[in-house]
Structure 1
Amino acid sequence: MITPPPHLDIRDDRFRALVHPMSRLDRIAEGFTWTEGPVWFGDRDCLLFSDIPSRRILSWSEATGTSTYRAESGFNNGNTRDRQGRLVGCRHGARDVVRTEPDGRLTVLADRFEGKRLNSPNDVVVSADGAVWFTDPTYGIISDFEGYRAEPEQAARNVFRLSPEGDLSVVVDDFTQPNGLCFSPDESLLYIAESGSSHDDSVPSVIRVFGVDGGRLEDRGVFATIDTGLPDGMRCDTHGNLWSSAADGVHCFAPDGTLLGKILVSEIVSNLCFGGPDGHRMFITATTSVYRVFVDAIGAEPWTRGHLD
């Protein structure tokens, strides 16, 4: 058996089918402050990602390298795409969720709940029915580093659902700091990261899982615990494995919650996504850099290989 490279930490033999012993972990972009929100645009053959404190959204492609996609992003954090291929992002500065239209205009999807400003939307996913689900911790208002210091107006750090008709509702309200979120491939489950240990050591670094019943969620408890650092952004592959960020890299969990292995990275990982020309590249945002590694898995999101539903 070939000895795995030093960036692969295999904990379960099932992980061997998801990675390759000849894969390389390549740093493809560097020199940033805090990278986040990677999303693959296969129809444009490029990766978009945020550098939150510098208030930029960057673009990277194999052909042209790194360039600026949006020079003033408003402290944009998490990004995703809707089923029409439009970019949907979370802005700490304006404390809102916005959609980028084909002509470049920005449409504010949500910025208040019950007449009060949101905390600082962090990460976002769009389900097949067009609903927008997002987390609303306070990271963007606790200092001026990732937003503007302010007192929260919301009574809790909620997870929200914006219906296709435009109705905003709370689906979970008992997180200390809800962070990354992603659906299982069939959207029957929603995984949500608890990152409250960033400021309170007593908060467990866990990923919780919820059953999805239309616009409602059923709490099914803790799915997995991150053993190094805390969970932030995450993605599912087409087989239902969950790949989560952590302080030492990317942790891969089987659908039953077993830790299969890790992709070790020398910087704290904030988020990840699948992409590349064949869908088999994982792009990792990690503190000051962006990394890429080949994996024998493909993301569950429909645009991973450039197609949309």
Structure 2
Amino acid sequence: MAEASIYEIHDPRFRHLIVTSAGLDELYSGCRWAEGPVWFNDANQLLWSDIPNQRMLRWTPDGGVSVYREPSNFANGHTRDRQGRLISCEHGTRRVTRTEIDGSITVLADSFEGARFNSPNDVVVKSDGTVWFTDPTYGILSDYEGYRADPEQPTRNVYRLDPATGELTAVVTDFVQPNGLVFSHDETVLYVADSAASHDDSLPRHIRVFDVKDGKRLANGRVFSVIDNGIPDGIRTDMNGNLWSSAADGVHCFDSSGKLLGKILVPQTVANLTFGGPKRNRLFIAATRSLYSIYVTATGAQVP
């Protein structure tokens, strides 16, 4: 494909983050809503969610695609902890779980202050082992990506969980629909997407950024960037401080000040993405029905 058909260059620096001769590869098609890709370098595999189909899928370079878990409890976002275990957000059970090395599942959290979560959506693990996740209402709005229910939480929060002590804290409580989240490579800031415009164009479609204080508190929240096509959902950072966000027309890349550097155009609405491959330079993209990948020159951060 020609460069112009894949990329939009908004800033010359974007050319140094992409491989202009690289193609966008469709690795699989057949999902209803692809989400939550997570790379396992030690197993040379990618796992991701097909939320409405109640399954998690696995892709390997040699073996193609197979079913990893079915039913999946309408699992959405995933990450790995510092021991390499899978951490998952489940819409159906409204909980955050950990898959142990033997395959058993441990419930890390399913309620806050005596009330059930809305529907945990996306999750990251900090280098100290704490688990940070978002809790919008998408999984209880209908029976398509979970089970319709009334919210029990008065707000839609970002949480910090310390699995070692069980301490659970709502670190931000003023989001409309918090969604994807990711730390900068040095963990000095946390980015969180607000995707509320998915159901009301007058509501936010931006990414906010917060300073991380003492490793556990967030301060100085401000708007980092606004998505100009669709909404921000899953987000990732690279080792140079850039942020890569999902959007309706593909993947948008911003520098650390929030300036749009460029876009990788994708034929379907992008829900989430992650860096993978042995060099963390292969971008895996979950986009509506399909899983895509493309090589870049950037090196992804936030890999255990």
SS of 1:54's equivalent?
Answer: coil
**Structure 1, residues 24-67: CA drift from partner, whole Å, max 9, x if none?**
00101111100000000010001000000111110001100000
- After TM superposition, give the deviation of residue 278 of structure 1 in Å: 2.4
Secondary structure (helix, strand or coil) at the match of 2:5 reads coil
Task: Give the match for residue 160 of structure 1.
Answer: 159
Tell whether 2:262 aligns with 1:272.
Answer: no
CA RMSD of aligned residues (A): 0.9
Total equivalences in the alignment: 301
User: Counterpart in 1 of 2:23?
Assistant: 24
Task: Please give the TM-score of this superposition, normalised by the length of structure 2.
Answer: 0.97
Q: Hey, what does 2:188 align to over in structure 1?
A: 188
Residue 286 of structure 2: aligned partner? 285
CA contact (8 A) 1:5 1:21 kept: no
Q: Deviations over 1:155-206 (max 9, x none)?
A: 0001111024111110001111000000000101000000011112111211
CA contact (8 A) 2:196 2:205 kept: yes
CA contact (8 A) 1:88 1:98 kept: yes
Q: How far 1:4 moved relative to its partner?
A: 2.5
Q: Which residue of 2 aligns with 1:124?
A: 123
User: Counterpart of 1:30 in structure 2: which amino acid?
Assistant: S
Question: Is 2:277 the counterpart of 1:260?
Answer: no
- 2:242 pairs with 1:247: no
Give the secondary structure class of the aligned counterpart of 1:140.
helix
Large movers: runs of 4+ above 6 Å: none
Residue 222 of structure 1 aligns with which residue?
223
Amino acid at match of 2:268: E
Distance across 2 between alignment mates of 1:18 and 1:5:
16
SS at match of 2:72: coil
CA distance in 1, matches of 2:239, 2:232: 20
The match for 2:175 is 175
State whether residues 26 and 293 of structure 1, in contact with CA within 8 Å, keep that contact through their aligned partners in structure 2. yes
Conserved? CA contact 1:116–1:153, under 8 Å: yes
Partner amino acid, structure 2, of 1:225: V
Cα distance in 2 between the residues matched to 1:93 and 1:204? 25
Gapped regions of structure 2 (runs ≥ 5):
none
SS at match of 2:14: helix
Find the aligned partners of 1:197 and 1:230 in 2 and give their Cα distance.
Answer: 7
Q: State the alpha-carbon separation in 2 of the partners of residues 66 and 103 from structure 1.
A: 22
Instruction: Please state how far the C-alpha of 1:68 moved relative to its aligned partner.
Output: 0.6
> Is the Cα–Cα contact under 8 Å of residues 176 and 204 in structure 2 kept in the other structure?
no
Identity %: 59
Report which stretch shifted further, 50-59 or 216-225: 216-225
User: Is residue 106 of structure 1 aligned with residue 99 of structure 2?
Assistant: no
- In the TM superposition, what whole-angstrom CA distance separates every residue of 1:244-276 from its partner, at most 9, and x where no partner exists? 000000000001111000000010000000011
Contact 1:5–1:22 under 8 Å retained in 2: no
Q: Partners of 1:204 and 1:118 in 2: how far apart?
A: 22
Distance 2:161 2:241 in 1: 25
Question: Counterpart of 2:13 in 1: which secondary structure?
Answer: helix
CA contact (8 A) 1:176 1:194 kept: yes
Displacement, 1:124?
Answer: 0.3
**Equivalent residue, structure 2, for 1:57:** 56
Please give the per-residue CA displacement for 1:203-235, whole angstroms capped at 9, x wherever unaligned: 121100000012110133100010000000010
Query: How far is 1:72 from its partner?
Result: 1.2
* C-alpha distance in structure 2 between counterparts of 1:176 and 1:125, whole Å: 20
- Distance in 2 between residues matched to 1:290 and 1:37, nearest whole Å: 11
- Residue 269 of structure 1 aligns to a residue in which SS? coil
Assess if the C-alpha contact under 8 Å between 2:249 and 2:270 holds in 1.
yes
Q: After TM superposition, give the deviation of residue 5 of structure 1 in Å.
A: 4.3
User: Matched residue of 2:211: which SS?
Assistant: strand
